[in-house]
Amino acid sequence: MFYLSRQTVSRHRSLYAGSFVALAVGVFLLGLAATATAATIAYRGPLADSITVTTLGGNDTAPTQVRVPTSAADTSGLQVVLSMVGTISGFITIFVIASTFAFAVASRRREIGLLRLVGATPRQVRRMILGEAFVVALVAALTGAVLAELATPLLLRKASYTELAPVKLEPASPWVPLAIAVGIGLLVAMLGARSAARRAGRVGPIDALREAALEPPRIGPVRIVFGLLFMAGSITLLTLIRPSTGEGVMPLAMFTPMLLVIALTLLAPLVVPWISRLWALPLTAWTRVSGSLARSNVVAAPRRSASLAAPILAISAVAGSMVLSLSFAADSAEATIRDSLRAPIVVTGDAKLDASLGTVDAGVPLQFVRIDQDSAELEDAEGIDPAIAARTRNLTPLSGDLDKLTGNTVAISKEMSSLEHYKIGDEVPVTFLDKTAAKLRIVAIVPDAFGVTPSFLIPLELAHKYAPTAEPERRFILPAPGVDVLGTVDSAVPAADWEAAQAEGVRKGNQFGLIMLLGPAAFYSAIAIANTLLMGSLQRRHEFITSRLLGATPAQIRRMVLWESSLVGAVALSLGTAITVTVGILIRHAMTSGMADVAVTVPWGVLLGIAGLCLTLAVGSALAPTTYILRRSQPSAAVE
């Protein structure tokens, strides 16, 4: 059947152009992620800047030696982001390939029926479709790999000396990473083509004789069951987005929308017609005929409309909830910073401070390697004078006693204690950067104060002893009565200004992560949206020409397509909005419970931008081929 696959692909080039572009871009992103990862692995930081420690072992894990890099010259941040970019690309590729191949099969029903008629078995038909997928995938994957290889030096130049990889990265040997990317691309394409192939195998020889069969009206019970299962799973996860879940709410807020999208995509043929009817109410009232035609087209072909809506729904829901969640997280971080700091004045420079100014909380920042059963990690800590710090910041212990912070002791944040299951009295093995090892006994658990106080607090003497060169980076001041600190010390600022600057830093960091994560996904989704709508319109050549024959003007047909694609876009965006709002409300509640006066920052610009972009893309890519078809063909072509 392979020879047949090759022939049909070259014949149906336009039908497969979508799959080709989608997969080439997917493999391009995968390949870039892979070559860049290879470059980070090939990068060897200076050996002096690391500490080798032995993990504790236990619970079936043997103690092992790990090298913990201590300089900032570390590329693990970039590696994490790259692996996420790779995962997202692979995941979306399956969806895009599945939908483009489903389209290709649906529009060739008659041809497949003919094949069956002249003696192809269902198995041969399946193999033919898979063969077509393979031909397209192979060419696309190789193209993507070549593009990735060409773009790698550019990416590495951009990524070098950034927050994620503050070093110079050089391209490593591309063969292995690109082979992996091509392999994954092929695998993913074949997975995506499987359901289309199975559907093609079910086409009977009799389909060759019937008029282009309308799609089967009902969706399969299996699809409904899976849709409901995903729905139930997402709702369960949604109920977990509550205050008691603690730090887990943020991953939940990012992961649940994806599940919801899958659930809604599966159930879309049931859901889409209803929402379309709602949206069509104003449309049919305002327009004369094009609006109601558009409505019937969307409602009567629920499967088609659903697959057109799917990519818009996916990106709007995922991006929308991510943007909103991160913004609300920043709001809550801002409130935490505000609530954690009691001192009215902060000195950020290294000005000499006279003791007569008031109480000065000059904590010393330092780092140590914390050793676990199976890992070791570099942690931020601060050496404090507990008597003073307890007055300038909110350090009232949730349990334990801060007064006992003397000698080899440590106070940890609530987050750290719940993350690592530490209790009062536990001993934490650490190695300071001067390579001395110590065991620190936990004496208190204090509230989280991200941005003000790190997760580990040790006595000031201990910090001076093991990090003698460390200097305070900022000092919190409780002025003595009648002293004007702001007027006398240059680098002194009101606490509110400092808090605002810290919060701004959090938002900036979020933004950077968002661009790194969503950038490729958004780019890819844009292609997917354009892809499906373009193919959707191209498929309707015959219908458009017949309408022309019946007396519809080109303008009328264009208006119909305009309304149709807007309707599909509106339906998808309203579902995406529903998901975004639900997740937003839940995460806001989870993150701000117990806090007062938390600002509400809704990034309207970004959210509306996403919606606008989706809609423009959808309408544009439906209209462009329509205009092209109408210009290229006369009504008489309908008779051919």
Contacts with another protein by CB under 8 A lie at 3-4, 7-8, 10-12, 110-111, 114-124, 204-206, 208-209
Closer Cβ to another protein, 208 or 470, answer by number:
208
Q: How far is the CB of 195 from another protein (least distance, A)?
A: 19
Spatial contact of 293 and 560, defined as CB atoms under 8 Å apart: yes
Kindly state the helix (H) or strand (E) to which residue 123 belongs, with its residue range: helix 122-159
CB nearer another protein, residue 61 or residue 121: 121
Rounded to whole angstroms, the Cα distance separating 256 from 277 reads 28
Shortest Cβ 595–another protein spacing (Å): 58
Q: Which pairs count as long-range contacts for 413-419, CB under 8 Å and 24+ apart, including other chains?
A: 413/445, 413/446, 413/447, 413/448, 413/449, 413/453, 413/454, 413/455, 413/456, 414/445, 414/446, 414/447, 414/448, 415/246, 415/247, 415/448, 415/455, 416/455, 416/456, 417/442, 417/445, 418/246, 418/247, 419/247
What does the longest C-alpha to C-alpha distance in the chain come to?
100
Q: Considering only CA atoms, which of 166, 151, 140, 139 is closest in space to residue 35?
A: 151
Write down the least CB distance from residue 132 to another protein, Å: 11
Q: Is 382 left (phi over 0), alpha (psi -120 to 50) or beta?
A: beta
User: Shortest approach of another protein to residue 299 CB, angstroms?
Assistant: 16
CB of residue 201 to another protein, shortest distance in Å:
9
* Residue with Cβ nearer another protein (62 or 118): 118
Residue 72 or 209: the one with the smaller Cβ distance to another protein is: 209
Instruction: Give me the residues paired with residue 431 across strands.
Output: 369, 437
Report, in Å, the least distance between residue 22 CB and another protein.
Answer: 22
- Least distance to another protein from the beta carbon of 545, Å? 17
How many secondary structure helices (H) and strands (E) does the chain include?
A: 18, 13
DSSP state of 220: P
Residue 285 vs 639, nearer CB to another protein: 639
User: Which residues, in sequence order, are CB contacts of 63 under 8 Å at separation 6+?
Assistant: 54, 55, 56, 57
How far apart, in whole angstroms, are the C-alpha atoms of residue 552 and residue 560? 10
Residue 110 or 342 having the CB closest to another protein: 110
- 121 vs 406, which CB is nearer to another protein? 121
Give Cβ neighbours of residue 387 (< 8 Å, ≥ 6 apart): 403
Asked if residue 40 lies in contact with residue 78, where contact means CB atoms within 8 angstroms, the answer is: yes
**Of 4 and 224, CB closest to another protein:** 4
For another protein, which is the closer residue by CB, 117 or 259?
117
Contact (CB, 8 A) for 71 and 210: no
The CB-of-209 to another protein minimum distance in angstroms stands at: 6
Neighbours of 195 (CB within 10 A): 14
Based on CB atoms, which residue is closest to another protein, 4 or 483? 4
Supply φ then ψ for residue 67, to 5 degrees: -100, 115
CA–CA separation, 131 vs 136, rounded Å?
Answer: 9
For residues 430 and 450, give the distance between their C-alpha atoms in angstroms, rounded to a whole number: 22
DSSP per residue over 289-333, as a string? Answer: SHHHHHHHHHHH-HHHHHHHHHHHHHHHHHHHHHHHHHHHHHHHH
Residue 10 or 239 with smaller CB distance to another protein: 10
Nearer to another protein, 11 or 288 (CB): 11
Q: Which is nearer to another protein, 157 or 210 (CB)?
A: 210
Rounded least distance, CB 223 to another protein, Å: 21
Q: How far is the CB of 186 from another protein (least distance, A)?
A: 23
Please, what is the minimum distance in Å from the beta carbon of residue 1 to another protein?
Answer: 8
Q: Taking phi first (over 0 means left), then psi (-120 to 50 degrees means alpha), and beta for anything else, what does residue 474 get?
A: beta
- For the CB of residue 85, give the shortest distance to another protein in the complex, in Å: 37
The pairing of strands 437-446 and 399-400 is antiparallel
The tokens for 481 are: 């009565």
At its nearest, how many Å lie between another protein and the CB of residue 123?
7
